[in-house]
Structure 1
């Protein structure tokens, strides 16, 4: 079922979805499945599975020198998506990213997902590599999400990336994209950032999921401006509670979002991880209630390092 169909279903007034990471290379699925077990009783609408760029690591050799090697710390996005879908019968939406992937790599991902019956995607540019100062497209890959969208559109129309026809097309992919209520860090201003969102909609994006935010006014202003610009797709708010002291400063810096003064004033009073966690739960629960009361039909949770907090919030708001 398409995400827009899930959103528009009349089963419940308040819906939620959440994002998970594939396990680290060498780890099993126990922690991942534990996260899903904590959420599934509340009937999540769908689960996003992230995709991660490969990165360079330095391995010490026997002679004392170091050799630079490229590895993927969290492989297996497509396989994990299939495992979740099979085990829990919950709709899955794997991320497909430009970062670190060639056009051919992406095409093989699409083929694999068709074989597995996965037809909902989240299309993203992805983060820059850690060793790069600015985003650098992989040789033979895409620089922008719009290029990725065009590849998926061509695939949906029965055309491989090299222009040859797909002999036996089978089904099409539906996809969403990212949105940034406080603008993407690389965008010169919010207006230009929203123009790109409008372009993605016009190319075929069916919905958008926002970067996390703490101030609902930023989301409401963003949606209002989007509607004025002719962006009509659902804009699903993404939220994340901080769950320990370090995250109070790390999360806003990492995700380029501001704390409202009321939250910041309370955050600086926290003396322990437990106090920070409780503040994160209280603030985000109230944030979600306000969003629902304003007519939002789905809230998307980023669960990394905050699984127990998110589970408690979901229990309170549904």
Structure 2
């Protein structure tokens, strides 16, 4: 079932989750165990992140360093297929521009279509320092809007080459939104117009980057509606569980952590206290968002369901 169909049919607030594939050489059973823990909470869909190749350096015996390029977390498609087959939960694999050619993307989408996976999240992806040399028969999507257009074309039966009797795909397309502005955008108005272009290219819904102040989300939605973006906008929530998140989350996701929350976490005496503060903040955020009738809450949980259950349990009692 498509994400938009889940949203349309919901009688109670929906809560979805985002997980990450295991590292190369790891076991899928670890992440399937996370899904198992989420089953009592009836997740309508689960996002699975994707990762392109990245550069690392390996020390050599002669004192030099060897440049290595590899995907540290392959397996997005396989993990999605395993989740759907074992648990019957719809999945949303992330499809990236960065690190993949349009030809590779088309192949991946064909595989997803054969597997009966109805949803994708189309994103540009992080710059990992790896840029493939393109042969004359290869091309790339520079921006998420280009990727959305490619998926929309396939939904209309148009592939990268003219094919006789080509069958259309039927993907529901999600895209990312940034309540605090994408860090590369010159201003918020510019960023929202880029988002509108993705909707006009065929995107069906938006899921936001994590934020810790609901005012950013409410203002973002208002600005989106004012320029004619009328698709569902799902808020993304992250639970802070470690002190180091005060530095790592702003550094990697360019999000602001409110002074009150940052001060409490910085003053905490133990990891357990930090986790308690993070849970309480996420719960308050979630309650306010649900009272504003958001279409869904989307939790970035990555590789553990332990903490999010302490937020979701009381939210289910509210429903």
TM-score scaled to structure 2, two decimals?
Answer: 0.93
The equivalent residue for 1:4 is 4
Equivalent pair of 2:157/2:169 in contact (CA under 8 Å): no
Q: Which sections of structure 2, spanning at least 5 residues, go unmatched?
A: none
The structure-2 alpha-carbon separation of the partners of 1:261 and 1:137, relative to structure 1 and needing over 3 Å to count, comes to farther
For residues 182-193 of structure 1, the aligned pairs below 5 Å read 182-193=180-191
SS in 1 for 2:170: coil
Higher mean C-alpha displacement, 142-151 vs 232-241: 142-151
Using the TM superposition, give the Cα deviation of residue 170 of structure 1 relative to its aligned residue in structure 2, in angstroms: 4.9
The equivalent residue for 1:285 is 283
Using the TM superposition, give the Cα deviation of residue 306 of structure 1 relative to its aligned residue in structure 2, in angstroms: 5.5
Using the TM superposition, give the Cα deviation of residue 53 of structure 1 relative to its aligned residue in structure 2, in angstroms: 1.4
The equivalent residue for 1:91 is 90
C-alpha separation between the residues in 2 aligned to 1:274 and 1:246? Answer: 14
C-alpha separation between the residues in 2 aligned to 1:82 and 1:125? Answer: 23
The structure-2 alpha-carbon separation of the partners of 1:17 and 1:214, relative to structure 1 and needing over 3 Å to count, comes to same
The equivalent residue for 1:205 is 203
C-alpha separation between the residues in 1 aligned to 2:231 and 2:87? Answer: 28
Using the TM superposition, give the Cα deviation of residue 166 of structure 1 relative to its aligned residue in structure 2, in angstroms: 5.3
CA RMSD, 1 decimal: 1.7
- What's the CA shift string for 1:14-39, capped at 9, x where partnerless? 21000011111101112201211121
Equivalent pair of 1:119/1:174 in contact (CA under 8 Å): yes
Using the TM superposition, give the Cα deviation of residue 168 of structure 1 relative to its aligned residue in structure 2, in angstroms: 4.0
The equivalent residue for 2:117 is 118
Equivalent pair of 1:23/1:32 in contact (CA under 8 Å): yes
Using the TM superposition, give the Cα deviation of residue 252 of structure 1 relative to its aligned residue in structure 2, in angstroms: 2.5
Using the TM superposition, give the Cα deviation of residue 61 of structure 1 relative to its aligned residue in structure 2, in angstroms: 5.0
C-alpha separation between the residues in 2 aligned to 1:166 and 1:238? Answer: 42
The structure-2 alpha-carbon separation of the partners of 1:254 and 1:66, relative to structure 1 and needing over 3 Å to count, comes to closer
SS in 2 for 1:303: strand
- What's the CA shift string for 1:38-87, capped at 9, x where partnerless? 21110111000110010123345566544322111111111111011001
- What's the CA shift string for 1:226-281, capped at 9, x where partnerless? 11111100000000011112112221232111122322232222122111111000
Q: Which sections of structure 1, spanning at least 5 residues, go unmatched?
A: none
The equivalent residue for 2:21 is 22
1:105 aligns with 2:104: yes
1:294 aligns with 2:287: no
Using the TM superposition, give the Cα deviation of residue 225 of structure 1 relative to its aligned residue in structure 2, in angstroms: 1.0
Matched length: 312
C-alpha separation between the residues in 1 aligned to 2:196 and 2:247? Answer: 32
Using the TM superposition, give the Cα deviation of residue 100 of structure 1 relative to its aligned residue in structure 2, in angstroms: 0.3
SS in 2 for 1:41: helix
C-alpha separation between the residues in 1 aligned to 2:117 and 2:63? Answer: 46
For residues 45-56 of structure 1, the aligned pairs below 5 Å read 45-56=44-55
Equivalent pair of 2:122/2:148 in contact (CA under 8 Å): yes
Using the TM superposition, give the Cα deviation of residue 167 of structure 1 relative to its aligned residue in structure 2, in angstroms: 3.0
TM-score scaled to structure 1, two decimals?
Answer: 0.93
